[in-house]
Amino acid sequence: MKPQKPGSSATTRRGFLKNTGAVSAALAGTFGLNDAFSIEAQTPSSSSGQCGFSQLPHGFVYLNSGTEGSMPDCVVNNFRDGLHKWAGNPTHAYETDAVFNKRQDLNRETVGKFLGVEKNNICLTDNTTMGLSMTLMGLNFQPGDRVVASNHEHNAILSPLAVQRATMGLEVITRAFPPAHTLRDMNSDELLDTLFPDSPSLRGAKALCVSHVYPTTGVRLPLKALRRKADQLNIRYLVVDGAQAMGMIDLGTDNDNITLSDFYACPGHKWLNGPPSTGVLYLRNANIRPPEFHPTLSQRMGEYTGGNEVFPMAEALQVRGCSNTPGFAAMIRALHFQQEMGGPAQIEKQILSMSQRVKNHILNRAPSAMVSPHLDPTLKSGLSVFFPFNWDKPKQLFTDKARADWVVRELLKKGIQIRSIGFTNAGAKNNNAEKMYALRVSTGIFNTVDQVEIFNRALTSVLKNIA
């Protein structure tokens, strides 16, 4: 069968919609941005009934998708059925089953269609950390090569870079985020020019390693602007941590298209609401091979030393022993669920609309408490980060861990889950420096306007008693 070319109906978002039988625009029309909606009422039936989020306790307001998502019932049922099928015939499942086999051709192809890329651009992983380690340990860095990152990167980026620095002399240049009182009012150009200026120390670096959305501040760095910045600085690889993006941001738009990155690692278990131990690694160059890139966490390095000139790297990375293949199949069901709910663009609008309600509640009372950008829409995400403050004295801010954790505990007593988050203080260059602590609210696809209002009222009550 002749392979499809990029952009064909089989590899575009439109092709995915057509091929998976997603619901019509009539459903998207019911997905109101400013109205509370019931997922159970508006989601098409699965083979096991309505695909709602019934696993979350009734009356519990879960606002922490940035740490872990939930799973809709249809995903839970798919995962359960897949485990039963695997247990019934393990050898067949591992070796030859179209859905579960070790090469994951069908599921990789489906993920590729969802993202508008080809099967051989996709490797399914356990999580973002695995994908970033595959990338940063696989690239052929040489002693003295420079890599640029920020002081707000997750350890999923920092840890493999530290290994490369210790073992072969990689130079890691750490750029500091501006302080919160500056960050919240910046636009995209101002922030990127601050983080990654045109300077001799950055020009010609081997890789720029960044987060698409920062778990520390909720800042989204548009991939188009990042690509332009990397090209201006003559940086060869753009490596992106997409842990807070897949399932929340439409990765097919002009500003945030996944194909603008060279390597993009993301999870299935956060905003996408797939099962644990699922993720995706995107490789822009489907034909990449040693010595430019080596297949770590793989059993297939021999394919590149035996004269095979066409063995795809994504498949080499995929074949690494027994993986969570029932989980990958359930993650595919989560992709279908996104389409059934109107598609990635509609879901992004919904999530950001809910997030804006949280931001407005803070900005209307204590604008100086806000950490997340609130003026430039290209920097916004579904994460709202702000410092605790005294509701009756809104200029009184708290940046210590004890008070941030206290607010989280008090809200949990009221049946509301958020989290506290620490990040390196402005100007610091490493994670051992003094940290500031804030509150982080993640508005997921299953959250409603009513739930956000419940949170806003409860937060007001708690902050009136902070000391």
Domains annotated on the chain, with CATH:
105-338 (3.40.640.10)
Which whole number is the average pLDDT over 261-283? 98
Inter-CA distances, 156 with 127, 207, 244, 256, 263, Å: 10, 15, 13, 21, 14
Selection from 300, 293, 309 nearest residue 237 by Cα = 293
Q: What confidence score (pLDDT) does residue 47 get?
A: 38
Which whole number is the average pLDDT over 176-181? 93
Query: Tens of pLDDT along 343-371?
Result: 999 999 999 999 999 999 999 999 999 99
CA-to-CA distance for 71 and 52, rounded, in angstroms? Answer: 9
CA-to-CA distance for 467 and 457, rounded, in angstroms? Answer: 19
Q: How confident is the model at residue 307 (pLDDT cuts 50, 70, 90)?
A: confident
CA-to-CA distance for 340 and 214, rounded, in angstroms? Answer: 28
Which whole number is the average pLDDT over 372-400? 97
Query: Tens of pLDDT along 7-19?
Result: 443 444 445 444 4
Q: How confident is the model at residue 23 (pLDDT cuts 50, 70, 90)?
A: very low
Which whole number is the average pLDDT over 307-317? 87
Phi-psi region of 204 (alpha: psi -120 to 50; beta: other; left: phi over 0): left
In this structure, how many other beta carbons lie within 10 angstroms of the beta carbon of residue 65? 26
Which whole number is the average pLDDT over 370-395? 97
Task: Reply yes or no on whether the pLDDT at 33 is more than 70.
Answer: no
Q: What confidence score (pLDDT) does residue 185 get?
A: 95
Query: Tens of pLDDT along 236-264?
Result: 999 999 999 999 999 999 999 999 999 99
Q: What confidence score (pLDDT) does residue 29 get?
A: 32
Task: Reply yes or no on whether the pLDDT at 425 is more than 90.
Answer: no
Q: What confidence score (pLDDT) does residue 20 get?
A: 41
Task: Reply yes or no on whether the pLDDT at 429 is more than 70.
Answer: no
Q: What confidence score (pLDDT) does residue 24 get?
A: 32
Higher pLDDT, 6 or 107: 107
Q: What confidence score (pLDDT) does residue 1 get?
A: 35
Q: How confident is the model at residue 433 (pLDDT cuts 50, 70, 90)?
A: low
The phi and psi torsions of 61 (rounded to 5 degrees) equal -100, 105
Which whole number is the average pLDDT over 218-240? 98
Which whole number is the average pLDDT over 374-390? 97
CA-to-CA distance for 295 and 301, rounded, in angstroms? Answer: 6
Provide Rg for the chain, Cα atoms: 22
Q: What confidence score (pLDDT) does residue 94 get?
A: 95
Which whole number is the average pLDDT over 404-408? 98
CA-to-CA distance for 149 and 158, rounded, in angstroms? Answer: 8
Which whole number is the average pLDDT over 96-106? 96
Q: How confident is the model at residue 306 (pLDDT cuts 50, 70, 90)?
A: confident
Task: Reply yes or no on whether the pLDDT at 192 is more than 70.
Answer: yes
What's the pTM value of the predicted model, to 2 decimals?
Answer: 0.90
Q: What confidence score (pLDDT) does residue 432 get?
A: 52
Task: Reply yes or no on whether the pLDDT at 91 is more than 70.
Answer: yes
- Taking the alpha carbons of 19, 21, 24, 27 in that order, is the dihedral positive or negative? negative
Which residues, in sequence order, are bridge partners of residue 122? 282
Q: What confidence score (pLDDT) does residue 424 get?
A: 86
Q: What confidence score (pLDDT) does residue 109 get?
A: 98
Q: What confidence score (pLDDT) does residue 232 get?
A: 97
Higher pLDDT, 396 or 41: 396
Q: What is the mean pLDDT of the chain?
A: 89
Which whole number is the average pLDDT over 280-284? 98
Q: How confident is the model at residue 309 (pLDDT cuts 50, 70, 90)?
A: confident
